[in-house]
Amino acid sequence: MKTVRVSASRDYDVVIDCGILERSGEYIKEFCKNSFAAIITDDKVDSLYSATLERSLETEGIRTVKYVFPNGERSKNAENYIKILEFLASNHITRSDLVIALGGGVVGDITGFAAGSYLRGVDFVQIPTTLLAMVDSSVGGKTAIDLEAGKNLAGMFYQPRLVLCDTDLLDSLDEKVFSDGCAEVIKYAALGSKEMFMHISDTKTGFDREKVIAECVQMKARIVAEDEFDNSTRQLLNFGHTVGHAAELCSGYEVTHGSAVAIGMATVSAACARAGICDKATADSLKKICRAFSLPTELCFPMEEICSAILSDKKIKGSKITAVLCKGVGECFLKSFTLDEFRSFIAL
Ligand code: GLY
C-alpha cells in the first residue's frame, strides 16, 4: 500500500492498494458524518463494481443512493450534469452528506463539478477505476464538463476529500482503455522521470502498477502544491494536450483522450526535434514507447481543422497559447506561441 498526501486548498490522501474497494467504507466513513452518500457512476462500471462499494459502505452503516449514466465522453455534458444535480436534490443530499465518484475520468470530472457546485459544495471522494483516472484525472481537483465548442470548457477547481485507487480494478480494463491510461503514464515519465521511462519501456504493460501510479501521483502532488490553479507549472501537465484535445474535438470524441495525448506528445516532440530543441532520438523514443503501448502517433486531421479546434481550447489566453515542449526525456518546459506561430511550429 502507498499513500500520497496532496497539499492544496484542501489537503487529502491518495491511497493506492490492491483490493481497497472492498475496504473502501473503512476509509470513507470518516468523511461521511451523516452516514448517507450518493454514488455517481456509469453503466459499465456499475455492473462491475457498485455492489462491492455498496456492500463495504453498508458494513460501515452508510446508506447510499446511486445515479448511473451511459459510459463514455459523450456523457460529460451539460444535460447530464444538470441531471446529477437534480438527482442529488431529489434525494435530499445535504452538506453533511457525501458524493462518491466511482469510475474513470468522465465520471470523476462531471461528479466533481456537480459536487463542487451543488449547494455551493458538498464533500466528495474519488474512486478511479481506470489507469488514466488513477494517475491523473482523479487527483488535483480539476473538474469539468464539455461544451459543444470544446472539451472541459465549464468546470471548477474542487478538491476531493480522499482518492482511493484499487490496482485490482485495472484487471477488468479492456486493452484499449488500459493503453489510454498508459499515455498519461508516458506523459509523467517524459515530464520528470527518466527512470520511470526506462521501467515502462522495459516492462511494457507489465510495469509495477502500485509503484508507477504512486510515482505519477507524487509528481502531480508536487506540481499541484506549487500551482493548484494552473497559472504556471501545472501547465506542464498539459504535455501533448493542446494538439490532443484538438484531435479529440475534431473526431467528435471518437479519438479517446489517451490516444489523443499520445498523438499530441508525438507531434510536439517531432516538432521540437525539427526545431533543434531536442535531438531526434528523444522524439523517436517517445514515438516508439507510445507505439509499444498500442497508442497512435500520427495526426490524422488537416492542420486547419486542428488549429480551429485549438482556438476553442481553454488554455488559449488572449491570442496566445502556452505549449509544453520537450528538451529531452524528463526535461519539459513551457513556451508561449501565437496560434500562427504554433501552427508553423507543428506543421510538417
Ligand atoms: N490533467 C492535468 C491537470 O490536472 O492539470
- Using 50 as the pLDDT threshold, list the residues of the chain that sit under it: none
Q: Quote the cell numbers at residue 116.
A: 463542487
Does 257 contact ligand 1 (Cβ within 6 A)? Answer: no
What gap in Å lies between CA 45 and CA 52, rounded to an integer?
A: 11
What gap in Å lies between CA 320 and CA 329, rounded to an integer?
A: 26
Query: Where does 93-174 have alpha helices with state H?
Result: 105-117, 131-132
What gap in Å lies between CA 127 and CA 40, rounded to an integer?
A: 10
pTM, rounded to two decimals = 0.94
What gap in Å lies between CA 154 and CA 271, rounded to an integer?
A: 30
Does 142 contact ligand 1 (Cβ within 6 A)? Answer: yes
Specify the length of the chain in residues.
Answer: 348
Task: Note the pLDDT of residue 150.
Answer: 84
Task: Note the pLDDT of residue 178.
Answer: 96
Report the nearest-CA residue for atom 2 of ligand 1: 237
141 CA: nearest ligand 1 atom: 4
Task: Note the pLDDT of residue 311.
Answer: 81
Summarised one tens digit per residue, pLDDT across range 67-97 is: 999 999 999 999 999 999 999 999 999 999 9
**From 217, 220, 232, mutation site for ligand 1 pocket: most ligand atoms within 8 A of C-beta:** 220
Query: With contact defined as beta carbons under 8 Å apart, do 108 and 126 qualify?
Result: yes
CA 22-99-230 angle, 5° bins: 105
What gap in Å lies between CA 84 and CA 105, rounded to an integer?
A: 16
Owner of C-alpha cell 470548457 = 153
Does 62 contact ligand 1 (Cβ within 6 A)? Answer: no
Summarised one tens digit per residue, pLDDT across range 202-223 is: 999 999 999 999 999 999 999 9
Task: Note the pLDDT of residue 319.
Answer: 80
Ligand 1 centroid to Cα of residue 324, in Å, is 13
What gap in Å lies between CA 302 and CA 171, rounded to an integer?
A: 37
Does 248 contact ligand 1 (Cβ within 6 A)? Answer: no
Query: With contact defined as beta carbons under 8 Å apart, do 189 and 220 qualify?
Result: no
Does 223 contact ligand 1 (Cβ within 6 A)? Answer: no
Task: Note the pLDDT of residue 318.
Answer: 78
The partner residues of 13 in beta bridges, in order of sequence, read 5, 162
Q: Is 333 exposed, middle or buried (0-12, 13-18, 19+ CB in 10 A)?
A: exposed
Query: With contact defined as beta carbons under 8 Å apart, do 129 and 102 qualify?
Result: yes
Report the nearest-CA residue for atom 3 of ligand 1: 237
Question: In 3D, which of 217, 271, 268, 274 has the Cα closest to residue 240?
Answer: 268
Does 245 contact ligand 1 (Cβ within 6 A)? Answer: no
Query: Can you give the three-state secondary structure of 227-290, one letter per residue?
Result: CCCCCCHHHHHHCCHHHHHHHHHHCCCCCCHHHHHHHHHHHHHHHHHHCCCCCHHHHHHHHHHH
The partner residues of 147 in beta bridges, in order of sequence, read 150
Ligand 1 centroid to Cα of residue 90, in Å, is 32
User: CA dihedral in degrees (306, 253, 315, 41; nearest 10)?
Assistant: 180
First to last CA, the chain: 46
Question: In 3D, which of 251, 262, 283, 258 has the Cα closest to residue 348?
Answer: 283
What gap in Å lies between CA 73 and CA 65, rounded to an integer?
A: 23
